[in-house]
């Protein structure tokens, strides 16, 4: 029973961590129209900064704050020149930046321990003397509270005049400029805040795994975020949270098939694992055929009118 409960807790916690990650991406694309294919870079910056500073003796809160802040500053570094580009060139630039960060992490052995990764770093609630199950429950609650706080912050911001300017930029940036809005500043703020949220999700991911290495920050992580956002609906924060839970729920419900294999069909566990991904892909394709705006999105969020 405890192993089954641990499994459910892990699914919910993972969904919450990725929901935080995708909320930042949704702010950038769903509300502002910024095509960011390198979102995972800021997740990696947040994770590694926090872990390395914790190992250096920094208090946990200070290390987390530094990781989130550095992720935001790094986004400004790439955003200042990149936001001058068209959407397609911006996408190429951001994914290139993400690969640069991953390669640096993978090769800077003295600092990041390279492909071996980092483990045995300070974790939240360590001093509480909790059992493994108790720690998982406490950390799940922390992730859910973090997700709720990020959601409420973004809801407040996106429903404010600031958020309405972001929507105006996404729908027609030229019109927003004609109304006297400095769209570049608004886009930089959106990029920085979304990247800071990604950095926070990286911190949560590091604590969830209790181990980080460059393989956790491949481009596939960004595209998983895009799938979750498209599934839930671009421009919908509620959709992002539901999409994340549905995405990881589908993977979890079909995981037993991978371990057992379909003996009747003569398939191995590895083949069933590939079939599992195909079936989930078919589900997403069918959803896009009948509801291309996602579960909670609107059709007007699908186009970028420049």
Tokens of 245: 């839970």
* pTM score of the predicted model: 0.91
Strand partners, 211: 119
- The structure tokens listed for 118 are 């980092």
Distant-in-sequence, close-in-space partners of 290: CB < 8 Å, separation ≥ 6: none
Region of residue 10 (phi > 0: left; psi between -120 and 50: alpha; otherwise: beta): alpha
**Distance in angstroms (rounded) separating the CA atoms of residues 209 and 34:** 30
Reading the block at residue 107, the tokens are 């090769």
pLDDT digits (tens, 9 = 90+) for 139-149: 999 999 999 99
- What integer pLDDT is reported at residue 191 of this predicted model? 94
Whether the Cβ atoms of residue 41 and residue 98 lie closer than 8 Å to each other? yes
CA distance 13 to 147: 10
pLDDT at 237: 93
Q: Are 208 and 14 in contact (CB under 8 A)?
A: yes
Q: What is the pLDDT of residue 260?
A: 58
Q: In this structure, are residues 106 and 117 in contact, taking their beta carbons and an 8 Å threshold?
A: no
Structure tokens at 96: 């290139």
Query: What pLDDT, on the 0 to 100 scale, is given for residue 284?
Result: 79
CB 53 within 8 Å of CB 66? yes
SS (H, E, C) the chain: CHHHHHHHHHHHHHHHHHHHHHHHHHHHHHHCCCCCCCCHHHHHHHHHHHHHHHHCCCCHHHHHHHHHHHHHHHHHHHHHHHCCCCHHHHHHHHHHHHHHHHHHHHHCHHHHCHHHCEECCCCCCHHHCCCHHHHHHHHHHHHHHHHHHHHHHHHHHHCCHHHHHHHHHHHCHHHHHHCCCCHHHHHHHHHHHHHHHHHHHHHHHHHHHCEECHHHHCHHHHHHHHHHHHHHCCCCHHHHHHHHHHHHHHHHHHHHHHHHCCHHHCCCHHHHHHHHHHHHHHHHHHHHHHCCCCCCCCHHHHCCCC
pLDDT of residue 280: 74
How much is the CA Rg of the chain, to the nearest whole Å?
Answer: 20
Mean pLDDT per 10-residue section of the chain, whose length is 306 residues: 79 95 95 92 97 94 96 92 77 91 92 90 87 92 97 95 92 88 92 96 95 92 91 90 89 65 60 73 81 74 50
């Amino acid at each position: 029973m405890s192993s089954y409960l641990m499994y459910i807790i892990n699914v919910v916690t993972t969904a919450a961590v990725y929901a935080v990650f995708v909320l930042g991406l949704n702010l950038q694309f769903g509300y502002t129209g910024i095509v960011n294919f390198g979102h995972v870079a800021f997740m990696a910056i947040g994770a590694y900064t926090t872990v390395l500073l914790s190992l250096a003796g920094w208090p946990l809160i200070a290390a987390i704050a530094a990781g989130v802040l550095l992720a935001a500053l790094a986004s400004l570094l790439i955003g200042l020149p990149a936001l001058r580009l068209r959407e397609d060139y911006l996408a190429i630039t951001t994914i290139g930046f993400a690969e640069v960060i991953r390669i640096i992490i993978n090769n800077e052995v003295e600092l990041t321990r390279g492909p071996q990764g980092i483990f045995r770093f300070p974790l939240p609630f360590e001093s509480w003397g909790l059992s493994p199950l108790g720690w998982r429950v406490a950390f799940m609650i922390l992730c859910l509270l973090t997700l709720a706080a990020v959601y409420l912050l973004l809801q407040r911001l996106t429903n404010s005049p600031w958020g309405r300017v972001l929507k105006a930029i996404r729908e027609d940036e030229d019109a927003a400029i004609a109304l006297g809005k400095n769209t570049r500043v608004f886009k930089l703020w959106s990029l920085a805040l979304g990247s800071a949220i990604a950095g926070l999700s990286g911190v949560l991911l590091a604590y969830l795994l209790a181990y980080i290495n460059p393989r956790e920050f491949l481009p596939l992580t960004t595209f998983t975020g895009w799938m979750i956002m498209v599934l839930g609906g671009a421009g919908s924060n509620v959709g992002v949270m539901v999409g994340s839970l549905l995405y990881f729920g589908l993977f979890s419900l079909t995981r037993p098939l991978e371990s057992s294999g379909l003996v009747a069909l003569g398939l191995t566990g590895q083949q069933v694992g590939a079939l599992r991904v195909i079936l989930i892909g078919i589900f997403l394709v069918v959803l896009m055929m009948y509801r291309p705006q996602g579960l909670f999105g609107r059709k007007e969020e699908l186009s970028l009118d420049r």
